[in-house]
Structure 1
Amino acid sequence: MTLDAIIVGGGAMGSAAAWQLARAGARVLLLERFEPGHTRGASHGASRIFRLAYAQPDYIGLAREALELWRELDPSLLELTGGVDHGDRASIEPIANALAAAGVPGRWLPAAEATARWPGLRFTGPVLFHPSSGRLHADKAVAALQAAAAAHGATIQHGTEVTSVAVRGDDLAEVVTAGETLRARRVIVAAGAWTAKLLPGLLPLRVTQEQPAHFAPVAPGPWPSFIHHHGATAVYGLLTPGEGVKVGFHGNGPVVDPDTRDYAAEPGRAARLRDYVREWIPGVDPDRDAPISCTYTTTPTSDFVVDRRGPLVIAAGFSGHGFKFTPAIGRLIRDLALTGAPGMPRFAIAGGQETP
């Protein structure tokens, strides 16, 4: 049987694609290599930042769409806590200007007012506050997306490793697993850190092992989600209820192979993160931390890839800021797969690359 769509990868984006495709009436099979709720990729854990605060209007529009879709899927997945950007004002002003142009609420606060409001954080200059920010529960979101996809008739299959993907015609592609060869009119590759292994040479993807940590709070809330524009380094954080305040350097980990990475906390990086927390986050204990290991898969520009080549739809490079957009990315994938509608120019594959 030739299916309408086979999705390779059951993380956030693959699961969102399954939901959007199945509720559009497509016959969908989602193949995930690992067990439900696994921790080997980039979609696990209890917290991700949601925010509309971008300097690019197309990202703001996509986040707005995602906000409505999260509420449609399950309102309990997203809690709006408010968010702040602080540090290098030259980096923050384009965000403030873009929010204002888009009519998104946001305002500058003096450092003293921000400190009084959020005593767990240290501010040294004006702070951009945007109330429509918060946190998503990652594990519950992926489970909800898969449940919604299944409710619309999609088949969700865990424990199935895809070893290769091949184009067989304008409207036909094959997916090979250890046990069989499957065919579909469209194959969506949303395999995160394993994308480059399945589609060698197509995308310039970089896979790194990142090392944020949860720190034990010592001050009462409230806690906003926060981005500190700290020189050449960006630092992000948010409260993860029951686990602590999650803090991490953005995209500074070593390059790894997702099949052979060690998941181990590197002592030097852990010490640098504790030093940062000691200076900038007085509301937590810098010496009571629980390291987290995850992968980032990024493109050279940090923009995502959501594009189509023949019967293949490729969705990759979301790490670092993609999770918030998940259900809207699923809609983009659906449109590319079913209608051939043009995607967003920002997310196109660079010219001159070949489809395998």
Structure 2
Amino acid sequence: MAESSDYVVVGAGLAGAATAWQLAAGGHQVTLLERDIPAAHDGSSHGSARIFRYAYPDPFYTQAVQDSKALWDGLALEAGKDLITPVGAVDYGPKRNPAQLADVLAGAGVDHELLSAAEARSRWPQIAFDTEVLWHPGAGVIEAETSVNAMVALAVRNGAKVLTGWRLERVERLGGAGYRLHSSTRETLDAGNLVVSAGGWLPQLLESLPLPAGFLAALPEFTVRQEQAFHFRYREDSGFSGASWPTFIHKAPDIQAYGLPGGRDAGFAGQKVAEYNGGPRIRSAAAQTGVVDPANRTRVVDYVRRHLPGLDPEPYAETTCLFTNTPNEDFLIDRADNLTIVSPCSGHGAKFAPLIGQWAADLATGNATVPGRFRSASTAALTS
């Protein structure tokens, strides 16, 4: 007879770990399945550096960051670990609209300043600002892998079971309510309720999930990219030595770049810089190669040379990661029958991890719903 669990969560990245933690903390019987290990190196939640920021053009997301921060603070206290390092953030560039971002932050009561390019250059001479600049000091850097492991540990403390090296092959619907999960090594596990938070593996897994045809047809198109990130050393010239580095988002006419202190991943020696959605498209995470695209490296190196004079423009480390995008960059947190799909997409989900876990757990248990913008599939299926 197959093992069983009231709730099975597939995927132990930031979103899956958060969901398992929230479900277990609510007193539910939970099993967390992971194809490798939590925060695996070939997923979307590995390493030490993700941006935490409040600046969004949409007030909905700024409010969600505020709600998430309260949960981050509680998580850090319960885990006894610092999970977000405050460094502040700058947003600039002709396509970033810092003034609009400042208006949103003002409406939300988030501390910020709107600076001229000259004012910003005097404060951060290591960055060649080309427009006015939004600065908000409450931003920081998330220790992603530590956060995943903290949430998994708290889930286990609350009774959850974690199975690693468990690669989901297919899911069958049982005669009554519930599902039977089959692994690639022919193990089985029965689930009364199933939550799939598989990151870049989701597009491929969808084919094996027993979801209603109308629900499947209404799901947004997922685009998986093998992103590239590069680490550049801080220059020790007298003009830049000891300068503090914020995170940044720069929307220039020819490239959208972002950067943040690289942290533990890069020996705390430099800034992690990448082109947003600059990597090649792949069918799913299973198709990733881990090989850096030379053309992307050339674009980012050229960007650093032109826009970040405080960095040595030769990368001393580089890596790949996964972005799973929806067309409008909204998340998907939706449910059909007892099967919940969670996809915190488009490269900006890390900062919302505890809140996404709360939303997903509430939806899976029926305790509450989630914002309607994340449930387009079920809404469309019901009205079709």
Fold shared per TM-score above 0.5 = yes
Aligned residue for 1:153? 159
Aligned partner of 2:281 among 255, 273, 276:
255
> 1:282 deviation in Å?
0.8
User: Is the 1:299–1:317 Cα contact (8 Å) retained in structure 2?
Assistant: no
CA distance in 1, matches of 2:367, 2:339: 11
CA distance in 2, matches of 1:170, 1:78: 44
Cα distance change on mapping 1:278 and 1:170 into 2, 3 Å: farther
> 1:349 deviation in Å?
3.2
Aligned residue for 2:192? 185
CA distance in 1, matches of 2:176, 2:114: 52
CA distance in 1, matches of 2:154, 2:314: 41
> 1:22 deviation in Å?
0.3
Give the TM-score normalised by structure 1: 0.94
Matches within 5 A, 1:189-228: 189-200=196-207, 203=219, 204-218=221-235, 219=240, 220-228=242-250
> 1:47 deviation in Å?
0.4
CA distance in 1, matches of 2:223, 2:344: 8
> 1:291 deviation in Å?
1.5
User: Is the 1:84–1:128 Cα contact (8 Å) retained in structure 2?
Assistant: yes
Give the TM-score normalised by structure 2: 0.87
CA distance in 2, matches of 1:90, 1:261: 30
CA distance in 2, matches of 1:184, 1:101: 44
> 1:252 deviation in Å?
2.1
User: Is the 1:55–1:99 Cα contact (8 Å) retained in structure 2?
Assistant: no
Q: What code does the residue aligned with 1:254 have?
A: P
- Kindly indicate whether residue 334 of structure 2 is the aligned counterpart of residue 332 of structure 1: no
CA distance in 1, matches of 2:190, 2:351: 31
CA distance in 1, matches of 2:73, 2:176: 36
Q: Which moved more, 1:245-254 or 1:89-98?
A: 89-98
Q: Which moved more, 1:206-215 or 1:256-265?
A: 256-265
> 1:169 deviation in Å?
6.7
- Kindly indicate whether residue 131 of structure 2 is the aligned counterpart of residue 125 of structure 1: yes
> 1:231 deviation in Å?
2.4
* 1:9-37 Cα distance to aligned partner (Å, 9 max, x none): 11111000011000000000000001344
* 1:209-234 Cα distance to aligned partner (Å, 9 max, x none): 11111111113331111100212632
CA distance in 2, matches of 1:135, 1:29: 29
Structure 2 unaligned spans of 5+: 208-215
Cα distance change on mapping 1:64 and 1:303 into 2, 3 Å: same
The alignment covers a number of residue pairs equal to 354
Matches within 5 A, 1:162-177: 162-168=168-174, 171-177=177-183
User: Is the 1:167–1:311 Cα contact (8 Å) retained in structure 2?
Assistant: no
- Kindly indicate whether residue 314 of structure 2 is the aligned counterpart of residue 287 of structure 1: yes
Aligned residue for 1:42? 44
CA RMSD of aligned residues (A): 1.9
CA distance in 1, matches of 2:346, 2:234: 26
Cα distance change on mapping 1:245 and 1:211 into 2, 3 Å: same
Matches within 5 A, 1:40-119: 40-74=42-76, 76-88=82-94, 91-119=97-125
* 1:274-298 Cα distance to aligned partner (Å, 9 max, x none): 0000011111101133121111111
* 1:302-340 Cα distance to aligned partner (Å, 9 max, x none): 111011111011111424111010011000011001125
Q: Which moved more, 1:171-180 or 1:30-39?
A: 171-180
* 1:127-156 Cα distance to aligned partner (Å, 9 max, x none): 111111010111111111111111111111
Q: Match of 2:291, SS?
A: coil
CA distance in 1, matches of 2:12, 2:365: 19
> 1:45 deviation in Å?
1.2
Runs of 4 or more off by more than 4 Å in structure 1?
A: 351-354
> 1:111 deviation in Å?
1.6
Cα distance change on mapping 1:90 and 1:255 into 2, 3 Å: closer
Cα distance change on mapping 1:8 and 1:19 into 2, 3 Å: same
Aligned residue for 1:231? 253
User: Is the 2:222–2:325 Cα contact (8 Å) retained in structure 1?
Assistant: yes
Q: Match of 1:43, SS?
A: coil
> 1:125 deviation in Å?
2.1
Q: Match of 1:292, SS?
A: strand
Structure 1 unaligned spans of 5+: none
User: Is the 1:205–1:317 Cα contact (8 Å) retained in structure 2?
Assistant: no
CA distance in 2, matches of 1:24, 1:36: 21
Q: What code does the residue aligned with 1:213 have?
A: F
Q: Match of 1:112, SS?
A: helix
User: Is the 1:85–1:127 Cα contact (8 Å) retained in structure 2?
Assistant: yes
CA distance in 2, matches of 1:89, 1:214: 25
Aligned residue for 2:18? 16
Q: Match of 1:18, SS?
A: helix
CA distance in 2, matches of 1:107, 1:166: 54
Q: Match of 1:212, SS?
A: strand
Q: Percent identity?
A: 38
